[in-house]
Amino acid sequence: MGSRQRPTIKTVAARAGVGRTTVSRVINGSELVSDEARSAVLAAIAELNYVPNSVARGLVTSRTDSVALVIPESESRLGSEPYFSAVIRGVSTGLTERRIQLQLVLVRDQAERDQLTESVAERRVDGVLLVSVHEHDPLPGLLENMGLPTVLAGRRAHGEPLSHVRADNEGGAAAAVAHLVARGRRRVATISGPLDMDVSRSRLDGWRDALRGEGVEAAETLVASADFTEAGGEAAMRSLLEREPGLDAVFAASDVMAAGALVELRRQGRRVPDDVAVIGFDDSVVARHSNPPLTSVRQPVEAIGRTMARILLAEIDDPGQPRQHVVLPTELVVRESS
C-alpha cells in the first residue's frame, strides 16, 4: 500500500476554493483576507491536517536561514553577461557573516514562475533578491503582496516602492557622452538596452540630456535598441550605420553590446577610435579584453550585490522598517577605444 501523500498549500487552496496566495496570507496572519476566506482556509487546514513545511518555516523561529536570488533570464544570458556573476559574488559576500544559504533561481517560463510562487507562498525562503527587473514583470508585485522581504537590483520605474539598489545610470551615460563631445565627436549614436527596463531608459536619458546640454543634436535616427547581447550590439550597430553613415561615436549601454558594435565596425572597415569612437557601460572583463580596449562606465556591481544583501537582511530582521532606495556612483574609465 502506498503512503498517503502529505497535503500541500495547493491542496488546501483547492479544498477551500481560494488561491494559494490567500492560503499563504492566512498562514502568515495577514489582515488582507476576508473573514469568509479565512474561515474556509482554516477549515481546510484542519480537515486535511495540513502543516506548513517544517524545514521552510522553522516551526519555532519561522526562519529558513535562506534567501533566493531570482534572475528571470536564460542560462545563456547568465553565462555570457559578466554583470550577473559580479552581482552573485557581491550578494554571497554580503550574506557570509550571517551564514545565510543562497538559492539561485532562474525563472525562464510560466512553469518556473509558478514553482517560485509556491515556494514563496510556503515560506521556503526568508526573502528574495530580484535581478534584471522589467517594467511589467509581475514578480515584484506578487512578492510585495505576499509580504515577503524583497530587494531589487534596479527598479521597474520612477517611484518604485520596493527597496532597490542601482548605479547612477543617467550620470554615467552623461559622463560618457561628455567625454566623446570633448574629444570633438558630433554625431554620437547610442545602443540602448530593452526599453521595458528602467536601466535602459535611464542610460538613454543620460545620453540625450548630455548631448542637448552640449548643444549637439540628439536625433532619434542615432538611437538603436538591442537586448544586452553581443549579437544585439552587432545588429544595432549595422542599423545605425545604415541610417547614419556619418556617425563618429557610439555609446553602448553595456560592454557586451559595445563588443558587438566593435565587431560590426571592423566588418565595415571603420577604424576605432579614428573613424568611430566607442564607449560601453559596466567596465567588465569584456572592456579590458576588447580590441581595442574599451572605454567604459564603471558601475560597482559587486557593491550593488552586497548592498542588496545588507538591506534584505535588515528587512528580514525588522519587516516594518522603511524601504531603502540606494543609488551608487559610477566612474568613466578611459581606454583606447575613445
Beta-strand pair 295-298/331-333:
antiparallel
Query: From CA 172, how far away is CA 72, in angstroms rounded?
Result: 25
The chain-wide mean pLDDT, for the chain, equals 89
pLDDT at 308: 97
Q: Which CATH number fits domain 169-298: 3.40.50.1100, 3.40.50.300, 3.40.50.2300, 3.40.50.1820?
A: 3.40.50.2300
The tens digit of pLDDT for each residue in 187-244 reads: 999 999 999 999 999 999 999 999 999 999 999 999 999 999 999 999 999 999 999 9
Residues sharing a CB contact under 8 Å with residue 61, sequence separation 6 or more, in sequence order: none
- How many helices (H) does the chain have, and how many strands (E)? 14, 12
User: C-alpha angle with apex 201: 130 to 265, nearest 5 degrees?
Assistant: 105
Taking the C-alpha atoms of residue 244 and residue 224, their distance in angstroms, rounded to an integer, is 11
For CA atoms 66, 69, 72, 75, the dihedral sign is negative
pLDDT-above-90 percentage for the chain: 62
What is the CATH number that goes with domain 9-51?
A: 1.10.260.40
142-177 pLDDT, tens digit per residue, is 888 888 899 999 999 999 999 999 999 999 999 999
Q: What is the mean pLDDT of residues 76-80?
A: 72
Choose among 132, 151, 120, 278: nearest CA to 194. Answer: 132
Cα–Cα distances (Å) from 283 to 194, 308, 322, in that order, read: 20, 20, 32
What's the pLDDT band for 31 if we cut at 50, 70, 90? low
In this structure, which amino acid lies at residue 285? V
Length of the chain: 338
pTM: predicted TM-score of the whole model, two decimal places: 0.80
* Sequence spans of domains, the chain: 9-51, 66-165+302-327, 169-298
Q: Do domains 9-51 and 66-165+302-327 have the same CATH topology?
A: no
Instruction: Write the CATH number of the domain with boundaries 66-165+302-327.
Output: 3.40.50.2300
Q: Is the peptide bond before 52 cis (omega within 30 degrees of 0)?
A: no
